[in-house]
Amino acid sequence: MASDDCDVLIIGAGIHGAGVAQAVAARGHRVVVLEQTAPASGTSSRSSKLIHGGLRYLESAQFGLVRECLRERRVLLRIAPELVRLRPFHIPVYRNTRRRAWQIGVGLALYAALDGFASDSRFSRLAPHEWSRLDGLDTTGLQAVFRYYDAQTDDAALTRAVLHSAQTLGAQLRMPARVTRVERHAQGARVFYRSGDAERDCNTRVLVNAAGPWVNDVLQKVVPAAVMLPVELVQGTHIVLPGSLSQGMYYLEAPDAARAVFVMPWRDALLVGTTETPYRGAPEAVAPLPAELDYLLDTCAHYFPAYRGMTRVDIRSAFAGLRVLPARPGAAFGRPRETLLHTDEPRRPTLLTIYGGKLTAYRATAQKVMQRLANVLPDGGAHVDTATLRLDA
Ligand SMILES: Cc1cc2nc3c(=O)[nH]c(=O)nc-3n(C[C@H](O)[C@H](O)[C@H](O)COP(=O)(O)OP(=O)(O)OC[C@H]3O[C@@H](n4cnc5c(N)ncnc54)[C@H](O)[C@@H]3O)c2cc1C
């Protein structure tokens, strides 16, 4: 059994593990990332692929989150121009949709204000003669269409780019490396992992648990036992349909008004998502449900008549990912989306767990992790600003 040491050991090479690895390495610390499968093999390849402020979070008054995400959108548009692109989004308002035109207008004005009225936050209301250019959008009962801008990415490619940046700064990635046991001690932790047929271990001053929907599974492997936050896993499914959109993205209210659904151009097709279904199984077993496929097909067909009559056999592919939300009563849709950083030793954390979060805010999350670890990590000498490091596709 081989043993070696590092300052920070990160479990998981999703966007959070990659982002924290980059931030730790940028400060000159020794960092190792253990990934059981492949970078971005978890939630970070199954998102809606948006780098956005989260317009709908304004309805639940999550202003801090929206402002932070808009700031990060600006940074990513600058440092990752090949991976993050600004796109026009359209919000149609019909006679029978729940949100009225004035509400959308107020929301977009607030969104622009939270972005400091930067040029990327411009929005407009399309004139009725422009509606016919909107990719076959149904105009029956249509009362208004708003256009604003947010960004789209390839989530898995972005994760790999951040990880590559971390490795360039000195981070080590070990893969496949599945963490099987963690023994905490006064100086940090000894982490045991399986790599193929070999069992290995690594001593670390700090352990960062960035295992996405597996976070509490990882905490169950910790001795002495670590405190776990009660969470719910909520499944979100996307479908890929044939076709193309020339005008950008559509932000739609599902016919049951229960949630928002995006219809977006994706590669040479359409991506439609997402659902929110409580999930209780093993994270690796998550898969789209027939009812979710029908819900997304119905929503798409409701707004785009050309898709009426399409059935499950027309779906090119589908994927499901898991949101990690604080366990609370009520529908998942309005639940807070803030990232929770949890440790049972707030002053000198040696084990820090990342719960939930946004792809968009990964860099901000990594900065917060660094602040939490400031008392435990010695000055590593280097201070590279990740807001200026270019990320290449
Ligand atoms: C349906 C859906 C849509 C979303 N859309 C958006 C969006 O459009 N924009 C946005 O900003 N955010 C979005 N999000 C949120 C965002 O995708 C997630 O917050 C983010 O991807 C989570 O990344 P992560 O690194 O925490 O987890 P993951 O990407 O799941 O990474 C965890 C990693 O840990 C590894 N791991 C687990 N256990 C072990 C172990 N024992 N040993 C070693 N490795 C282990 C896994 O293999 C995995 O690679 C969406 C989320 C969902 C579910």
Summarize pLDDT for 218-264 with one digit per residue, the tens: 999 999 999 999 999 999 999 999 999 999 999 999 998 778 999 99
Q: For residues 293-322, give the mean pLDDT.
A: 97
Mean pLDDT of 153-176: 98
Q: How far apart are CA 224 and CA 237, in angstroms?
A: 37
Indicate whether 44 pLDDT > 80: yes
Query: Residue 47 Cα, ligand 1 centroid: separation in angstroms?
Result: 8
- Residue 228 main-chain phi, psi, to 5 deg: -115, 140
Residue 360 CB less than 6 A away from ligand 1? yes
Cβ within 8 Å of residue 152, ≥6 positions away: 49, 50, 51, 84, 85, 87, 249, 264
* pTM beyond cutoff 0.85: yes
Query: Minimum mean pLDDT among 64-78, 157-171, 258-272, 370-384: which range?
Result: 370-384
Is pLDDT of 46 > 50?
yes
Query: How does 326-346 read in b/e, with b if 16+ C-beta sit within 10 Å?
Result: eeeeeebeebebbbbbbbeee
CB of 35 within 6 A of ligand 1: the answer is yes
Residue 34 has pLDDT above 80, yes or no: yes
**Rounded percentage of the chain residues whose pLDDT exceeds 90:** 88
pLDDT at 379: 81
Asked if the model's pLDDT at residue 120 lies above 80, the reply is yes
Minimum-distance ligand 1 atom for the alpha carbon of 322: 53
Q: Compute, in angstroms, the gap from residue 162 CA to the centroid of ligand 1.
A: 14
The lowest-confidence range among 159-173, 283-297, 329-343 is 329-343
On average, the pLDDT of the chain sits at 94
pLDDT at 347 (0 to 100): 86
DSSP type of residue 367: H
Distance in angstroms (rounded) separating the CA atoms of residues 338 and 328: 14
Judged by DSSP in three states, 153 sits in: strand
Q: Which of 358, 65, 372, 341 is nearest to 229 (CA)?
A: 341
What's the pLDDT at 142? 98
In tens, the pLDDT along 6-25 reads 999 999 999 999 999 999 99
Q: How far apart are CA 161 and CA 165, in angstroms?
A: 6
Residue 283 CA, ligand 1 centroid: distance in Å: 11
* Residue 329 pLDDT: 64
Q: What is the pLDDT of residues 189-215, one digit of tens each?
A: 999 999 999 999 999 999 999 999 999
C-alpha of residue 122 to centroid of ligand 1, in Å:
30
Residue 2 confidence (pLDDT): 46
The residue whose CA is least distant from atom 41 of ligand 1 is: 179
Closest CA to 58 of 114, 96, 121: 114
Residues contacting 2, CB < 8 A, separation 6+:
200, 201
Average pLDDT of the segment spanning 110-124: 94
Q: How confident is the model at residue 1 (pLDDT cuts 50, 70, 90)?
A: very low
Residue 365 Cβ < 6 Å to ligand 1: no
Instruction: List, in sequence order, the alpha helices (H) in 247-349.
Output: 290-303
